[in-house]
Amino acid sequence: MLKLSEFDYPLPKELIAQYPLKNREDARLLIVNRQTSELSHGSFKDIGGFFKKNDLLVLNDTKVLLCRLMGKKVTGGRVEILLTKRINGTTFSCLVQPSRTKVGENIIFAQGKIKGTINRRGQISFKQIDADEIYNYGVVPLPPYIKREPEDLDTIYYQTVYAKNEGALASPTAGLHFSQESLASIQASGVNLAYVTLHVGLGTFRPVKCEEITEHKMEPEYFNVSDEAVKLLKQAKVNNGRVIAVGTTALRTLETYSDGRQEGSTDLFIYPGYKFKLVDGLLTNFHLPKTTLLMLVCAFGGKELMLKAYQEAVEKKYRFYSYGDAMLIV
């Protein structure tokens, strides 16, 4: 049995990065060698030196929606709406703060340019606006552990430079470290790049509450592996190249694909004991304690080695979470 308490670790709050680095590639890099159990330290600027010719780097090209709307009730009270899914037309499922907002209340956004009504608990309908236009009035849905309001810089830095397919409620943050220049340099060295899509949902922030972790259920998320990505995956294997996932979302997409599906929804929950079928390496950020993300990393790198790596990252004051530093597990 795997207990939730096994995936806990102490983290000083001051190590949780509240802002991105000005230069994406200035992040630190902790390298974990699974064969030797060796931990080493470097800079993300040198990430290309860890890849080999014919390796395949797989990136999640989902794009974060500006789905957080700030509004007011007719009485003047402040309301925050997080659009989680389009149901039909201009009706969306949503999270509402404060939660005591009543069904039937009208909410005004953007100085009256948009009006919405809470139809039922967890649902809002907008009036006299196209559904796609609504996001033009939203802001970046920063994770709850970033204790500040979104700023203009987040519109740029909380999005990967290769973001393409809109639909995510959170960023695939392992990819935030790459610039267009670094990707071009990596590709020029003989490493191939493949893009898959997984629209990251709110489940990425929801804590596991079951003490026996195998009882936890993941929330389904849309994924797609294009024909071009399939071609590159097969080519990498033929040429003895490694498949390196950029982030846990890319990894879960690839492992779902390995079971024979190219598109659909996935609720794949990876925890220690899982047998990986396709992925040989993982580039990731540092994750919250007691989360499915940390469990996935422990499954891939080994629980004892990963918790040792996290302890060392804390001791050496790495920056944690979405805007934090990176880890490469090979």
147 in any annotated domain: no
- The per-residue pLDDT for range 244-278, each reduced to its tens digit, is 999 999 999 999 999 999 999 999 999 999 999 99
- The per-residue pLDDT for range 19-69, each reduced to its tens digit, is 999 999 999 999 999 999 999 999 999 999 999 999 999 999 999 999 999
206 in any annotated domain: yes
- The per-residue pLDDT for range 64-105, each reduced to its tens digit, is 999 999 999 988 999 999 999 999 999 999 999 998 899 999
Nearest of 265, 274, 323, 324 to residue 298 by alpha carbon:
274
User: Both 157 and 45 in a single domain?
Assistant: yes
Report pTM.
0.95
Nearest of 168, 164, 169, 159 to residue 193 by alpha carbon:
164
Q: What is the CATH number of the domain that holds 14?
A: 3.40.1780.10
- The per-residue pLDDT for range 276-329, each reduced to its tens digit, is 999 999 999 999 999 999 999 999 999 999 999 999 999 999 999 999 999 999
User: Both 186 and 270 in a single domain?
Assistant: yes
The stretches of the chain forming alpha helices (DSSP H) are 131-134, 152-157, 180-188, 227-238, 248-257, 292-301, 303-315
pLDDT at 170: 97
**228 band by pLDDT with thresholds 50, 70 and 90:** very high
Domain extent for 16: 4-64+152-329
Query: Between 305 and 130, where is the model more confident?
Result: 305
User: Both 188 and 174 in a single domain?
Assistant: yes
Q: Give the number of domains in the chain.
A: 2
Q: List residues bridging with 298 in a β-sheet.
A: none
- Across the range 178-185, mean pLDDT stands at 98
User: Both 119 and 242 in a single domain?
Assistant: no
